[in-house]
Structures are given as structure tokens and as C-alpha cells.
Amino acid sequence: MAIELSYPSEVQTLAERTRTFIRERVLPLEDAHDGDITAAGGDALRVELQQAARDAGLFAPHAPVEFGGHGLGMSDRAPVFEEAGYSLFGPTALNIAAPDEGNVHMLAHIANPEQKQQYLAPLAHGEVRSAFAMSEPAPGAGSDPSALSTRAVRADGGWRINGCKWFITGADGAGFFIIMARTSGEPGQRGGATMFLAPSDSPGIRVGRHLDTLDRSMIGGHCEVFFEDLLIPDSAVLGAVDRGFEYAQVRLGPARMTHVMRWLGAARRGHDVAVAHVAQREGYGGTLGDLGMIQKMVADNEIDIAATRALLTRACWELDRGEPAANATSIAKTFAAEAIFRIIDRSMQMCGGLGVSGDLPLARLSREVRPFRIYDGPSEVHRWAIAKRAVGAAKRSLRDSR
């Protein structure tokens, strides 16, 4: 049976139009501000760019059609998101930046009709930003979500939440929070988590300091957030009580893949810059691109780009079929996070001194993509999960054969 690897014509057209928009409208702003979205204007820039994307018919390619989006599935998002990611500001312009993109996806699948109107609609339309509050300082939830310590307890007509989160992307200026809190069990135990929705101006929510990280392109920073006797009604429960970890998988797998799409676009830009440089920079009796060592780096970049796309395609295919795709998304995320960094690193090396200077975008691209080997699960955690599944399958096979 033939395997279809092409995209529908409307998706190809959307990707091509996104490509033009990013290069003509967005890249000059990124370059003018060295990829620092706060320096470029923060939310004011977001509003400006998103209006331009609306005018160009490119806004919210992932959002449900009934909420103003294009309704693209996971596979069809890949070429569009990659073109948007060619600029560090591109995802913000199209309203597909983290964490809003992942939150739109999750709310579309889990929220009830009232919650969709209150939270999903304004988020999909770009009227507000959002934050997903799960990670905690030690000994709370980090790479091991079962360590969740933020607690929600029953109160009159609802819930009272207390706890501390950190590395909460987009928290500063978010319109609402999706909060993961423990409603049963103890830290270290599986299960017992619930997701809650809360407007950011609710009494009991306090955004603390911005953690100083390498990256500068994610609007709203990565912040500490404190929940201090936050009272919310029963209607604020997202999904069902004690099923938060299960619902998180609805978000996490797809969000990892859309991160891959966006950062692959950034890696492609770095590669394009380097190839253009070595094709014209003269030295050693020719151009740098004529040298075998340079050609190896160019080829290795091409291989990493192609391999990342192939793994991404497989994972998105599984997700579109409604499969958990846990293994496929872990494999694709781990390979891509490391391959994308290799692509940028080689590109810097090919450009020599210019590669580490502000005259080219490579240094800032390196700054932005390096955290991806930690964000959305460190490579080591994904490798552990992949190996655990493989060994577990082997043990089951041995038991069944006896």
C-alpha cells in the first residue's frame, strides 16, 4: 500500500503564504531586536503582528474553525508551523507560540461548552494569553510529575488551592491559568491530580520573579507563580477530578511535536544562513563550501533536518489517528531537540567569527534552541521512558512464550 507524504493543496498554499509573510513582515523585526521579544515591545508587538497575520489570512492555523482558526490536524500543522518558526517571532504572530498553542489544543478537546466560551474563544482569537502551571520547585513536580505538591482541597462551593509553581511560561501578562493541583494522594504517588481554570486577576494568584533563562523569544517570560488560598468554583474544574495527569497527555504529546515544528524552522534558518555564507566566502583557493570538512557539516545538517521531519511525520500520523503516540513523540522530541542544536552549532562553526557575533542570527538561535533539550522533558527522561517501554515489552514477550 502506498504511503501518502504530500499535503493537501490548501495546506501547501497556507505554508507558502506563511513563508512569505514571515520573511517580509516578521524577520526584520526579529533582527532589529536580536530576537528579544520584550525589547521589541512585548504584548504591544504581539497585538500588532497578530493583526497583520489576520489580515493575511494566516492567523491561528491550529484553532478550531468555529473559533476562528483553520482547524489543521497535527500532520497538516507541520509545514505551516515550520515556516512560522523560521523567525523566532513567527509563532507569536500566528498565535501558535507556547504555551497558548498547546492550551488551545487541550481546551478544544477537554473543556465543556461554557469553558470554551470563557477561555478558549478569547485565547484562540488572540484577545488574551494563557499559562499552564504544572512545574514546581524541588521537591515538587518537575520531570517527575508524580511529585506534584500544589494542593487543592474542597471548600464551600468549590476548591481552595495553595502551592508554588515556577518556570511557568507566559505567566507575566497571562489572562488566565490552567493549574495542575493534587486533589488526592500524596506527592510521589501516581494519579490524584486535577486541572483547574482561573482568571489571572483572581485573588490568591501572585506572579513572582522572572527566572533568568537563555531564551528571550517567549512572551511573558518563565516565572514563579504563587497560589495562596485561591478560591475557585466547581465550574473551574477542567475535565474530571483526579484525572489531570491523564488529560495532560492530551496536551503534552502534541505540544512537544509543535515545538519540534517551530524549532525546526529556526534550525533551517540557521542552516540557510551558513550555506549562503560558505557558498561565497573565499579562502584556501576557492570558497569554503568547496572544502570537504565544510561539506560534511552541510551534509550532516541536511541529514538532521530530513530525519527530524521523518520522525515528526510518524508521530503526527499516530496522533491524528487518535493513538497515544507516547513512544513516537518521545523519540521525535529527543532526536529533534538534539539535532536542532547540532544544526545551529555546525552553522555557527561554518561561519567562524561571524557565527558567534551579532552580525548573523546564529548566536541568538543557539541561545533559543538549547533549552529545548530540557523543556518539555529532558532528553534523559525521554530516553528512560523509551527504554522502559522496550524492556517492558521484551519481558512481557518472554512471559507469554513460557
> Tens-digit pLDDT profile for the chain (402 aa)?
567 889 999 999 999 999 999 999 999 999 999 999 999 999 999 999 999 999 999 999 999 999 999 999 999 999 999 999 999 999 999 999 999 999 999 999 999 999 999 999 999 999 999 999 999 999 999 999 999 999 999 999 899 999 999 999 999 999 999 999 999 999 999 899 999 999 999 999 999 999 999 999 999 999 999 999 999 999 999 999 999 999 998 999 999 999 999 999 999 999 999 999 999 999 999 999 999 999 999 999 999 999 999 999 999 999 999 999 999 999 999 999 999 999 999 999 999 999 999 999 999 999 999 999 999 999 999 999 999 999 999 999 999 988
Residue 81 to residues 74, 84, 131, 258, Cα–Cα distance (Å)? 10, 5, 20, 7
Residue 204's nearest CA partner among 149, 157, 138, 159 is: 159
Q: String of b and e for 322-361 (b: at least 16 CB within 10 Å)?
A: eeebbbbbbbbbbbbbebbbbbbbbbbebbeebbeeeebb
* CA pair distance 308, 80, nearest whole angstrom: 16
Cβ atoms of 116 and 125 within 8 Å: the answer is no
- Does residue 123 lie within any of the structural domains? no
Neighbouring residues of 377: CB distance < 8 A, sequence distance ≥ 6: 143, 252, 256, 330, 333
Residues belonging to the chain: 402
State whether 210 and 253 are in the same domain. Answer: no
**For 169, how many CA atoms within 13 A lie in the half-sphere containing its CB?**
17
Q: Is 290 helix (H, G, I), strand (E, B) or coil?
A: helix
Residue 87's nearest CA partner among 361, 281, 295 is: 361
Number of separate domains in the chain:
3
Cβ atoms of 328 and 314 within 8 Å: the answer is yes
* CA pair distance 382, 372, nearest whole angstrom: 13
Which pairs count as long-range contacts for 288-295, CB under 8 Å and 24+ apart, including other chains? 288/350, 294/350
Give the CATH number for residue 43: 1.10.540.10
Domain finish residue from 242, 268, 283: 242
Give the CATH number for residue 391: 1.20.140.10
State whether 250 and 372 are in the same domain. Answer: yes
Give the CATH number for residue 205: 2.40.110.10
State whether 278 and 376 are in the same domain. Answer: yes
Cβ atoms of 259 and 85 within 8 Å: the answer is no
Cβ atoms of 172 and 224 within 8 Å: the answer is no
- Does residue 118 lie within any of the structural domains? no
Domain finish residue from 242, 264, 284: 242
State whether 252 and 229 are in the same domain. Answer: no
State whether 324 and 232 are in the same domain. Answer: no
Neighbouring residues of 195: CB distance < 8 A, sequence distance ≥ 6: 110, 178, 179, 180, 237, 238, 239, 244, 247, 248
Q: pLDDT value at position 11?
A: 98
* CA pair distance 52, 340, nearest whole angstrom: 29
State whether 225 and 284 are in the same domain. Answer: no
State whether 192 and 268 are in the same domain. Answer: no
- Does residue 304 lie within any of the structural domains? yes
State whether 214 and 360 are in the same domain. Answer: no
Look up the domain containing 49 and give its range: 9-97
Neighbouring residues of 191: CB distance < 8 A, sequence distance ≥ 6: 184, 185, 242, 245
Neighbouring residues of 186: CB distance < 8 A, sequence distance ≥ 6: 192
State whether 199 and 310 are in the same domain. Answer: no
- Does residue 108 lie within any of the structural domains? no
Domain finish residue from 195, 226, 242: 242
- Does residue 106 lie within any of the structural domains? no
State whether 266 and 350 are in the same domain. Answer: yes
- Does residue 51 lie within any of the structural domains? yes
State whether 73 and 153 are in the same domain. Answer: no
Helices 74-84 and 292-320 sit at what angle, rounded to 10 degrees?
140
- Does residue 285 lie within any of the structural domains? yes
- Does residue 86 lie within any of the structural domains? yes
State whether 300 and 346 are in the same domain. Answer: yes
What sign results for the dihedral spanned by CA atoms 33, 34, 38, 42? positive
